Structure 1
Amino acid sequence: MNAYESRPWLANYPPGLSEHLDLEFGSPLEAFDAALAAAPDAPAVHYFGATLSWADLDAASDALAHALGEHGFAAGDRLGIAVQNEPAIILGLLAAWKAGGVAALISPMYKRSEFRRALDDFTPTALLILDEVHAEVADELGSIGLVVTASPLDFAGSDDLQRVFDVSRVATAGTVELLDLIGTGSRAITRHVPAPDDVAVLAPTSGTTGPPKGAKLTHRNLAFSAQAYRTWTGLELGEPILCMSPIFHVTGLVGSVMLALSLRSPLVLTHRFDAGLIFDAVRAWRPAFSVASITAYIALADHPDASPEAFESLRLRYSGGAPVLPDVAERIEERLGGMIHNVYGQTESTSPTHMVPPGVPAPVDPETGALSVGLPIFDTMARVVDERGEPLPPGNFGEIVTAGPQIAAGYWGQVDDDGSALRNGEMRTGDVGFMDADGWFYVIDRSNDLINASGYKIWPFEIEQVLQSHPAVLETAVVGIPDDYRGESTRAYVALQPGAEATPTELIEYCRERMAAYKYPREVEIVGALPRSATGKLLRRELR
């Protein structure tokens, strides 16, 4: 038995948590039905001063499912969904499942060519799309049978949406408006009952290393991960959930929508992230939980309204999508009170494979300075392996590999061969890290971000951590660049703190004094901001 098979992490589980999770629901639709039956008039969604009940969601999604059926939508067909964090996305998910289909999530932030590629990959029979997005991509839609347009203004009960985001309704041709469709009231439908292993969602991967792929998330995947969040955090039924992550990405989908369904809790939506609106939403609805990128928490900590009192109700705050530096976490906690907990996972793992227990400070590795991403959650096996796939002893760097009920069924339209990240029921994460002797896991870098300079191996994280300690530096990213002499060299892109000043020469010298000669960056470029995905993941490939 190796160090992983003995599951040393179980010794660090909080009292009351066991290794195994008994599922209450076989699908998110079962969870929705339970919430509907328990309290149909209870709040299900809060959106800019308006509230929708579970019964409201049921009637509106029935109407959308009925329209899908009238246009030939059949079991297994895909409903493309390209909206932001509005009630429309919940209706789209429910309607697709009620009609026996699959919700194919498409980022509303895609440009025309990206949108076309998503349509070619997912081949949706119908499309639910924001009117403003439709105006940009209408001639890319081809022969989709039914196109339903929604506006961010749909269902809003105040003018804060227009005030902050300056949105307005956009006229569309050849489409059906969502409000018109559901305005006729509930329609009788033949409700499909999904099997746990049916594909529920096609979720685009983050695209940090190449074009996004559609991970096939099953109803069982979603039900397991939602209950894992619920049980791990100890949230009570009905506690409001604040959605700060995009729902078209797995973090917002699972850590907000699926969790709210499992808890019969109202979900607080704000169309897109805006720090001021988040403070307003916390004051108005007193949410207990949220999961977001660390960049979102940084924006909240830097906002004039930031204070421990302002965030007092939000007692459980999780962050995922990118490594969190200990000093950044400390600064956020000073400004907002409470504690930032890490959650780790990928789109292909339906969000969480590792989490830090509530109220427990994550350990910091003394050698690398990395903050732990947590312990493997229920029914989850995690290993660190070498290039041959052999498990490495605790403390050794290697690739993190995970397995469990949350691992996706594969990639849409692709064969999962030996080169796939998904193979044999496991997820090859591509993340380099290690497990300590107590079962805590640490992520250091992406395996393809390793820099080889004159034969020396350099992890960008090491340089970034030193640069981050400079008082003028807000954030930084290091990449390898071609070098005729060394093979590869290091270039750092640095965004400075507001009002701060520092020169590239000063920052290079700062690193040279603190690092081995082969490690310090040979070039530094000052930039306004680093390129990130919608979920806050750093896009190093754009810097390269």
Structure 2
Amino acid sequence: MNSSSPMHTAPILDEERRETLSAPNDPRYLTMPQALDGAAATYPDKKALSYFGKDFTFPEVQSISGALAAALAARGIVKGDRIMVQLQSIPQFVFVAFAAWRIGAIIVPVSPMYRTPEVQKIARDAEPAVLVTANETWAAQGRESIEGTTIRTVITTGMADCAGTVPEAFAHIEDTARDENVLDLLELADSHEGAAPPETLVSPADTAVFTYTSGTTGPPKGALTSHLNLTWAGAAYPEFNGMPGPDHVVLCTAPLVHITGLSLHLSSWISSGSTFVLGYRFEPNVFLDLIEQQQVTWTTGAATAYIALLQAARKQPRNVSSLQRLGSGGAPIPTDMARAIYEVLGVKLQPGYGLTESTAAVSSTPADVDPVIDPDSGIISVGLPMFDTQLRIVDPDGNELPAGERGEVCLRGKGIIGGYWRNDGANQQTFRGGWLHTGDIGFVNESGWLFIVDRTKNMIIASGYKVWPREVEDVLYQHPAVREAAVVGVPDDYRGETVRAYVSVAEDAQRPTTKELIEFCKERLAAYKVPRDIGFLDELPKNFNGKIQHRELKQIASNGEA
């Protein structure tokens, strides 16, 4: 391995640093409104929230969200009611979330990418009283999206209403007119300016969010995320990574409607008193500009986001020297891609691991330690368990496995949710014996570093052999013409399943032939792991957080579309 590589095959941690990372920690577990009040009292004058040239202080966030809380209460919203929020990462999302939490209500974030049937499905499950959405989303979906639901109040807002100068890439967000038959969010706040919301007893154990899982391997489920879950994650993540404090600037790369955006961005911002930069939605050139303009010090995002940033930075370099940390999660990132990001952006990726049910990250690679590579598999570790988190690897019978043995990753700790909303079957399957059973296959090495191999449900059985898609994908990513890669199993009368790959081609690269890619894999993989066929797509299907959707690719394969 090149000596300048930002990755190592063994941990570099002295005993004192290891003790710091594993010691019990008390990061002031509070409710989210208490955390905001603390930030407002401690940092009253600093720039707290920034959105395309318009800035807000912590007291201003506190005041606007307090006015909205009073307005919601005046319309009969009480503790335990649900408020569905279908917005991009804009200040109004922050205002609504803290307004709801102030009066004990629960937010139900919904992706702005969702269409009417998807919105209806979640609304009928969560039974919200209020929908907060964007003018353009409401114009596209209208009242059809709330038919047959419990929603009785609709509040809309303009995506540019809290912006200074909108980038050209997002110029369209200023074009949609407001529906005069629904309430306007900022007008509602203005009409209750100075009004005090009712005193509501909110405890850390109370549910703050119905965080619907992305449904990568099945229908979405409403995860009951508590205030404690959020404040633990928001305090533990920056502190574990040695980056707490008001001097840092956090860029919201993950959507606020996703658990990563809520916990590792929004809650970390409130806990650390840093500056929070919002960018509407991820667009690589816009985000590179924000990093340069706002002197962003850290962010966390999916592997696909970093690949897009890498490609954009290669075409048009920016000064991103302010960056100190790039946390990665959502899906494993190929080793060669991590090295390329380090070479171009000048900062190493710090892989972590988490899921909706664990309130995002439960393990992370500390900022002062290089990412660790398993010498046998070449897999990059996703770090060490964070504060107050326990993990173990078990076999199908639930027996704990020794270091190096692959099995299911199980977790427990302060980030683990209390269960799913109205889903006893999923609760019994996922939460057993005091542990969250993740469905992810991984192993730990002798030093306690966690490595994720793949999802249990993604495993392919070809002619009786187990094939992990991740292993094949990592090989495909080594080909210089491959921008994205995903591998699925498709039914085969002879083999049971056969390996099929899907790729998208890098910009300015000549498209390789199917035969070329298959030969490339044959040189690096056992015969039973080599894809029998490869489909080419302009872009692989992803969910709103950038995760490649293997389930959709299986459907494409079964339909013979590519």
Q: TM over 0.5: same fold?
A: yes
Choose which of 192, 212, 215 in structure 1 pairs with 2:220: 212
- SS in structure 2 of the partner of residue 302 of structure 1: helix
Instruction: Say if 1:156 and 1:140 are closer, same or farther in 2 by CA, change over 3 A.
Output: same
The one-letter amino acid paired with 2:388 is D
Indicate conservation of the 8 Å contact 2:156/2:178, yes or no: no
Alpha-carbon displacement from aligned partner over 1:231-255 (angstroms, at most 9, x marks no partner): 1122242122111110100111111
Partner of 1:187: 195
Residue 49 of structure 2 is aligned to residue 39 of structure 1: no
Q: How does 1:55-204 map to 2 (within 5 A)?
A: 55-138=59-142, 139-142=144-147, 144-160=151-167, 164-165=171-172, 167-184=174-191, 185-204=193-212
Q: CA deviation at 1:170?
A: 2.9
Indicate conservation of the 8 Å contact 1:322/1:536, yes or no: no
Partner of 2:558: none
Q: Which runs of 5+ in 2 are unaligned?
A: 1-12, 555-562
Choose which of 509, 513, 522 in structure 2 pairs with 1:512: 522
Q: Between 83-92 and 134-143, report the one with greater CA deviation.
A: 134-143
Pairs aligned (count) = 537
The one-letter amino acid paired with 1:216 is L
Partners of 1:308 and 1:403 lie apart in 2 by 42
Choose which of 384, 391, 396 in structure 2 pairs with 1:387: 396
The one-letter amino acid paired with 1:81 is V
Instruction: Say if 1:417 and 1:164 are closer, same or farther in 2 by CA, change over 3 A.
Output: closer
The one-letter amino acid paired with 1:191 is E
Residue 53 of structure 2 is aligned to residue 49 of structure 1: yes
The one-letter amino acid paired with 1:388 is D
Choose which of 546, 549, 558 in structure 2 pairs with 1:539: 549
Q: CA deviation at 1:412?
A: 1.2
Indicate conservation of the 8 Å contact 1:384/1:399, yes or no: yes
Instruction: Say if 1:163 and 1:121 are closer, same or farther in 2 by CA, change over 3 A.
Output: closer
Partners of 1:299 and 1:316 lie apart in 2 by 17
Alpha-carbon displacement from aligned partner over 1:332-370 (angstroms, at most 9, x marks no partner): 110000111011100110011110011312211122211
Indicate conservation of the 8 Å contact 2:237/2:386, yes or no: no
Q: CA deviation at 1:287?
A: 2.1
Q: CA deviation at 1:151?
A: 1.2
Partners of 2:273 and 2:410 lie apart in 1 by 33
Q: CA deviation at 1:183?
A: 2.3
Choose which of 536, 547, 557 in structure 2 pairs with 1:526: 536
Q: How does 1:370-409 map to 2 (within 5 A)?
A: 370-409=379-418
Q: CA deviation at 1:224?
A: 0.8
The one-letter amino acid paired with 1:537 is K
Instruction: Say if 1:11 and 1:480 are closer, same or farther in 2 by CA, change over 3 A.
Output: farther
Residue 491 of structure 2 is aligned to residue 487 of structure 1: no
Q: CA deviation at 1:128?
A: 1.2
- SS in structure 1 of the partner of residue 421 of structure 2: coil
Indicate conservation of the 8 Å contact 1:433/1:442, yes or no: yes
Partners of 1:304 and 1:437 lie apart in 2 by 38
Choose which of 301, 304, 315 in structure 1 pairs with 2:324: 315
Choose which of 243, 253, 264 in structure 2 pairs with 1:244: 253
- SS in structure 1 of the partner of residue 350 of structure 2: strand
Q: CA deviation at 1:18?
A: 4.0
Instruction: Say if 1:283 and 1:11 are closer, same or farther in 2 by CA, change over 3 A.
Output: same
Q: CA deviation at 1:278?
A: 1.4
Instruction: Say if 1:273 and 1:216 are closer, same or farther in 2 by CA, change over 3 A.
Output: same
Could you tell me the TM-score, scaled by structure 1's length? 0.94
Partners of 2:19 and 2:296 lie apart in 1 by 25
Q: Between 91-100 and 232-241, report the one with greater CA deviation.
A: 232-241
The one-letter amino acid paired with 2:90 is E
Indicate conservation of the 8 Å contact 1:279/1:305, yes or no: no
The one-letter amino acid paired with 2:471 is E
Residue 27 of structure 2 is aligned to residue 23 of structure 1: yes
The one-letter amino acid paired with 2:521 is C
Tell me how large the CA RMSD over aligned residues is: 2.1
- SS in structure 2 of the partner of residue 480 of structure 1: strand
Alpha-carbon displacement from aligned partner over 1:278-326 (angstroms, at most 9, x marks no partner): 1222222212221011111111111147788721112111011000111
Indicate conservation of the 8 Å contact 2:395/2:408, yes or no: yes
The one-letter amino acid paired with 2:183 is V
Indicate conservation of the 8 Å contact 1:432/1:444, yes or no: yes
The one-letter amino acid paired with 2:146 is L
Instruction: Say if 1:440 and 1:277 are closer, same or farther in 2 by CA, change over 3 A.
Output: same
Indicate conservation of the 8 Å contact 2:420/2:427, yes or no: no
Q: Between 349-358 and 530-539, report the one with greater CA deviation.
A: 530-539
Instruction: Say if 1:426 and 1:249 are closer, same or farther in 2 by CA, change over 3 A.
Output: same
Partners of 1:74 and 1:121 lie apart in 2 by 19
Partners of 2:480 and 2:298 lie apart in 1 by 31
- SS in structure 2 of the partner of residue 378 of structure 1: coil
Partners of 2:259 and 2:352 lie apart in 1 by 13
Choose which of 428, 431, 444 in structure 2 pairs with 1:422: 431
Indicate conservation of the 8 Å contact 2:411/2:436, yes or no: yes
Indicate conservation of the 8 Å contact 1:433/1:443, yes or no: yes
Residue 340 of structure 2 is aligned to residue 335 of structure 1: no
Indicate conservation of the 8 Å contact 2:159/2:173, yes or no: no
Q: CA deviation at 1:188?
A: 2.1
Instruction: Say if 1:222 and 1:306 are closer, same or farther in 2 by CA, change over 3 A.
Output: farther
Partner of 2:557: none
Q: Between 228-237 and 153-162, report the one with greater CA deviation.
A: 153-162
- SS in structure 2 of the partner of residue 224 of structure 1: helix
Partners of 1:171 and 1:308 lie apart in 2 by 38
Instruction: Say if 1:162 and 1:448 are closer, same or farther in 2 by CA, change over 3 A.
Output: closer
Partners of 1:233 and 1:326 lie apart in 2 by 21
- SS in structure 2 of the partner of residue 180 of structure 1: helix
Choose which of 454, 477, 486 in structure 1 pairs with 2:463: 454
